[in-house]
Amino acid sequence: MVEPRPPCPKAKVAVFISGTGTNMAALLYASRLSDAPFEIVLVASNKQEAAGLALARLEGIETFSHAHQGHSREDHDAAMEAAAKQAGAQFILLAGYMRILSEDFVRRWEGRILNIHPSLLPKYKGLDTFARAIEAGESYAGTSAHLVTQELDAGEVLAQVRVAIAPGDTPETLAARVKLAEHQLYPRAVADYVSRGSDPKHLLARLRELALALPETYERESHGSPGFRVGTEKTGKFFAHFHDGHHGSDRVAVLVKTGSMDELLHLVETQPESYLKPAYYGASGWIGVVLDRPDLDWDHVEDWLAQSWQRCAPARLTKLHDVAEMF
């Protein structure tokens, strides 16, 4: 019988604010629900007097503030980042943080930094979103939770909520209703996003994309789990197996072929968080590369898949591959 999966550790998030911090408060109280998959380890601001800092302190959350005046964008971001790292943050959530971030900072946190923006993106990026939506005669305003990328308010939209514009709405009356929607949307979007890393469905989808991008590969089930083969349908060989809590471990992993038993045993012994020895496959050199970990590096998984493909593919393919590698 497969044991139930133990609860995953909560993702640690830092929230950056510049003002009232009502979105931060919504995140904070949502994080205190018993099934919340994230916890706030730091609330940081570029404004010492930001009201949200006082609330965070009252609720026992660590705070940090660093005025941006007199500092270059890079230096200011570096100070905020250092505080987030020091607190152990794995994700950064912008919640009314009214600063453009430096390119390097965004690059370093790519995929791990989210924002809430008061419009239905891609409409009305930037400032004064309510006045612009009212002026344009829109029937709806709204709010978007999105990933942060180099381009302002242009990263992948994770979730949105529409808010009807009433006749006679001013930017202020509309903003107040949009905030109510934001307080529902942002905690939910964050919970869903940080859970992706432990969601077997999401992990399998990503793995499938990488495995099937290798030459002459296809998917076939093996012992009830998805597997990936290289070669023809008739003579192909498995080079990767998806492993979801079966085979004597409760982790989600991809099984790939190592070069030797020594390599396998060494990796499992020295990096038990990253590798496992599968119960039924281990003797033949298959190692489990653990996928459900917050700091998973997909480039690393891609390298393992390529190596395993190389070890399992028929000579006619690996020869071609070796030649291609020479150029």
The answer to whether the beta carbons of residues 277 and 256 sit under 8 Å apart is: no
Enzyme catalytic residues:
117
Calpha distance 200→266 (Å, rounded): 27
Query: Which span (116-124, 134-142, 204-212, 228-236) binds ligand GAR, by CB under 6 A?
Result: 116-124
Nearer to ligand GAR, 23 or 63 (CB): 23
Question: Does position 257 bind ligand GAR by CB under 6 A?
Answer: no
Q: Write the CB contacts of 87 (distance below 8 Å, at least 6 apart in sequence).
A: 12, 14, 41, 42, 62, 64
Determine phi and psi for 318, rounding to 5 degrees: -70, -30
Rounded (10°) angle between helices 200-212 and 298-312: 50
The residue number whose beta carbon is nearest to ligand GAR equals 96
Structure tokens at 179: 């905030």
Nearer to ligand GAR, 95 or 211 (CB): 95
Nearer to ligand GAR, 17 or 165 (CB): 17
Is-cis flag, bond preceding 122, omega within 30?
A: yes
Rounded (10°) angle between helices 171-195 and 22-31: 30
Question: Does position 160 bind ligand GAR by CB under 6 A?
Answer: no
Question: Does position 81 bind ligand GAR by CB under 6 A?
Answer: no
Q: Which residue of 19, 200, 248, 314 would you call a contact of ligand GAR, by CB under 6 A?
A: 19
CB of 20 to ligand GAR, least distance (A): 4
Nearer to ligand GAR, 174 or 256 (CB): 174
CB of 173 to ligand GAR, least distance (A): 14
CB of 82 to ligand GAR, least distance (A): 23
Residues touching ligand GAR, count (CB under 6 A)? 13
Nearer to ligand GAR, 42 or 290 (CB): 42
| Binding to ligand GAR in span 85-104, by CB under 6 A | 95-96
Query: Which span (110-118, 223-231, 283-291, 311-319) binds ligand GAR, by CB under 6 A?
Result: 110-118
Q: Which residue of 23, 31, 249, 308 would you call a contact of ligand GAR, by CB under 6 A?
A: 23
Cα 51 from chain centroid (whole Å): 29
Q: What is the CA radius of gyration of the chain?
A: 24
Q: Which residue of 116, 203, 204, 207 would you call a contact of ligand GAR, by CB under 6 A?
A: 116
Calpha distance 152→171 (Å, rounded): 22
Question: Does position 22 bind ligand GAR by CB under 6 A?
Answer: yes
Nearer to ligand GAR, 120 or 301 (CB): 120
Q: Are strands 38-45 and 113-117 parallel, antiparallel or unpaired?
A: unpaired
Nearer to ligand GAR, 44 or 95 (CB): 95
Q: What angle do CA 147, 151, 153 make, to 5 degrees?
A: 50
Amino acid (1-letter code) at residue 127: L
| Binding to ligand GAR in span 172-211, by CB under 6 A | 179, 182
Question: Does position 21 bind ligand GAR by CB under 6 A?
Answer: yes
CB of 148 to ligand GAR, least distance (A): 10
In b/e form, how buried is each residue of 234-245, taking b as 16+ CB within 10 angstroms? eebebbbbbbbb
Calpha distance 217→309 (Å, rounded): 9
Determine phi and psi for 34, rounding to 5 degrees: -60, -30
Query: Which span (112-120, 248-256, 261-269, 288-296) binds ligand GAR, by CB under 6 A?
Result: 112-120
Q: Are strands 225-230 and 38-45 parallel, antiparallel or unpaired?
A: unpaired
DSSP 196: G
Q: Which residues form the interface with ligand GAR (CB under 6 A)?
A: 17, 19-23, 95-96, 116-118, 179, 182
